[in-house]
Amino acid sequence: MVRERRGHNLEAWMAEATDSGIDALARFARGLEGALAAVTAGLSLNWSNGVTEGLMHRLTWLTRQSTRVMDRRRALTRRMLLVEGSSMTHQK
């Protein structure tokens, strides 16, 4: 059903799953009822979220890079303050 985009068969599958006697499968099928239109569309329409995933990956990468840069700046500032502070104590 997923690979062949047969969303029109979903309701029949849900009825079979509910009557299958397998509790977990029946619960899963009943849980799909609340979003039947969305699940049917997802199983029927040709769609891809590759571009969105790519953008999210890039955003995550940029966020991590900027965090690393800020961490380096903080560490450098601390070192500079420590060096400056220690040189001031030696001057007295």
How many angstroms separate the most distant Cα atoms in the chain? 87
pLDDT of residue 28: 96
Whole-model pTM: value is: 0.49
Residues 67, 84 within the same domain: yes
29-65 pLDDT per residue, tens: 999 999 999 999 989 988 777 888 899 999 999 999 9
Q: Which domain holds residue 71?
A: 49-92
Residues 27, 61 within the same domain: no
Cβ contacts of residue 7 below 8 Å, gap of 6+?
1, 39, 40, 41, 42, 43, 44, 45
Residue after which a domain boundary falls, among 47, 64, 80? 47
Cβ contacts of residue 11 below 8 Å, gap of 6+?
36
What pLDDT band is residue 92 in, cutting at 50, 70 and 90? low
Burial of 32: CB neighbours in 10 Å, binned 0-12, 13-18, 19+: middle
Residues 5, 25 within the same domain: yes
